Chains A and B, each alone.
Chain A
Amino acid sequence: MVTDPELRVDLGARDVVARVVDPEMPMLTLDDLGVIRSVEEDGGGAVVTITPTYSGCPAIEVMRDDIRIALGEAGYDRVEVRTVFSPAWSTDWISEAGRRKLAEAGIAPPGKAPARAAGPIPLTLGAPSTQVRCPRCGAPSTEEFSRFGPTACTALRRCPSCQEPFEHMKEI
């Protein structure tokens, strides 16, 4: 176990956890992604509560392990990582810094998540919105060609101006 007393002085458990990166989108920290619910210090240990992005998100276990490792290396010898589901995660929780980093990495950041009106959820049969800016050339209008991308949270789009395909983090 790597114990670094100096690091321990500099960084509280919250700071250590906040710097852990998302295993599928390593340009984002867990803090950017908005999945950290709480970090409580308890003597030499820490209890971390996170929330998964999607029900079946395969990254959640790696996140938990990476949190344990980071806290272990920072000198926390008892680490417990809890996962809670409610309230459900929303892309609205991604920080401004996170949105900027996504765009810089060529992934169009999500727009505002749809508000839930009362009554049955309406079916969407129309063509997907074109109002997603191309993260490469900045063209304001692009087209979705698959709602499901390489990770659970992205859709695939292409830009008619620069012809480049790109991922878009879809709003939920």
Chain B
Amino acid sequence: MSHVEQGEHDATNAYQSLSETTAHDDPRWAFGTGFEDGLSLGEAEITAPVPEGVDAADLAAYCQMLGDDALIYSQQLSEWVANAPELEEEVALANTALDLLGQARVLLARAGHVEGADRDEDALAYLRDQAGFRNVALAEQSDELDFGRCIARLLIFSTWRLALLHRLLDSKDPVIAAVAGKGVKELTYHRDYAARWALRLGDGTEESHRRVQAGLDWAWPYVEELFRTSDEEHRLIEAGVAVDPAGTREEFDAVLAQVLDRATLTRPEVPPVGTIGGRSGRQGVHTERLGHVLAEMQSVAREHPGATW
């Protein structure tokens, strides 16, 4: 936090008494928790110096990659809120989305700081266009309220992200290492949740087996991109900041094999979605889904720029 707050209480403001947050004299951004929060998200860490020998632009891009995966996946998973088959599953999926959103906020705050272009986490989330997002295509797909798809996509995503974050515990960037420290704990139970449901559905009834297998077949074309290494990552691996996503493939395959075998599911044999001249999500080239995601996610922020309450 860059400024000092006074513990003032305005007795004439009826709204203050609606919450205990009477110390807040500053307006809050109407969407997200805004600039103040961006600054106070652990100044000591968010503003840590760029590790020696690391290009700031590369680090900002990498934080965006890891942050955008979490942000966009979180947004898409939130489609299940008020739509899940059971209340317990709704709570589980909303909790998972919340964990990912928390990871995204720190990573985007770090990206904004390192970039030095006066953009905070909210500016990055709400004011970038499609080409500015660096998430993988899997994150931006919609489950279309099909629980088989939901479980297949979450199994793939959480297995991959856990493998990545586990390797990032020793990242030379202190913010990435800190996010990994918390994220590993969270992704571990996200993956367990998805794997247990895959087992229950795959080895369940004929219908549940068919549905989760169809979900896997649908999600599988987006798997290959997860293990493609971008130029920024190549450079940051050398510097000890990033890990090579290609190096997580073996672990990913082993975990998926373990789950699919027990669940009597079949590993899909389908061609991956193509790239455009070798470019895909990491380079800002997306499937048409991202436009829909951003239209929804950014609508309030774009309609009322800088609104506060």
Contacts and interface: CB of A to CB of B under 8 A. Distances in A.
B193 interface: yes
Interface string B16-50: 00011111100000000100010011111100000
A73 interface: yes
A52 interface: yes
A71 B99 CA distance: 30
B91 A149 contact: yes
Interface of A is mostly: loop
A83 B178 contact: no
Interface stretch (A5-13, A93-101, A119-127): A119-127
Interface in A131-160: 145-150, 152, 156
Contacts of B43: 82
A86 B177 contact: yes
A152 B176 CA distance: 22
Contacts of A72: 6-8, 23
Interface residues of B, number: 62
A41 to B, nearest CB: 14
B177 A45 contact: no
Contact of B186 (A23, A55, A58, A156): A55
A80 B4 contact: yes
Contacts of B283: none
Nearest to B4: A78
B251 interface: yes
A147 B42 contact: no
Interface residues of A, number: 50
A131 B101 CA distance: 32
Given A65-B20, A68-B7, A147-B92, A84 B45 contact: yes
A152 B185 CA distance: 13
B95 interface: yes
Contacts of B95: 148, 152
B45 A86 contact: yes
A88 B185 contact: yes
A79 interface: yes
B146 interface: no
Contact of B188 (A54, A66, A121, A145): A121
Contacts of B23: 65, 68-69, 72, 79
Contact of A56 (B45, B99, B163, B195): B99
A27 interface: no
Interface stretch (B113-121, B207-215, B254-262): B254-262
A115 interface: no
A87 B195 CA distance: 28
B59 interface: no
Contact of A148 (B7, B88, B101, B162): B88
Question: Which one of A65, A77, A85, A89 has the highest number of Cβ atoms from chain B below 10 Å of its Cβ?
Answer: A85
Contacts of A146: 88, 91-92
Question: Which one of A62, A68, A121 has the highest number of Cβ atoms from chain B below 10 Å of its Cβ?
Answer: A121
Interface string B89-100: 001100110111
A121 B183 contact: no
Contacts of B106: 55, 85
Contacts of B251: 120
Nearest to B91: A148
B5 A79 contact: yes
A69 B22 contact: yes
A86 B178 contact: yes
A64 to B, nearest CB: 7
A116 to B, nearest CB: 8
Nearest to A71: B7
A56 B175 CA distance: 15
Interface string B261-298: 01000000000000000000000000000000000000
Question: Which one of A23, A55, A81 has the highest number of Cβ atoms from chain B below 10 Å of its Cβ?
Answer: A55
Given A84-B44, A146-B92, A45 B4 contact: yes
A69 to B, nearest CB: 5
A84 B186 CA distance: 17
Contacts of A54: 98-99, 102, 182, 186
B186 to A, nearest CB: 6
A123 B42 contact: no
B7 A69 contact: yes
6 contacts: A65-B23, A73-B7, A87-B181, A88-B178, A124-B195, A152-B98
Q: Which 5 A-B pairs have the closest CB atoms?
A: A72-B7, A56-B102, A55-B102, A86-B178, A68-B23
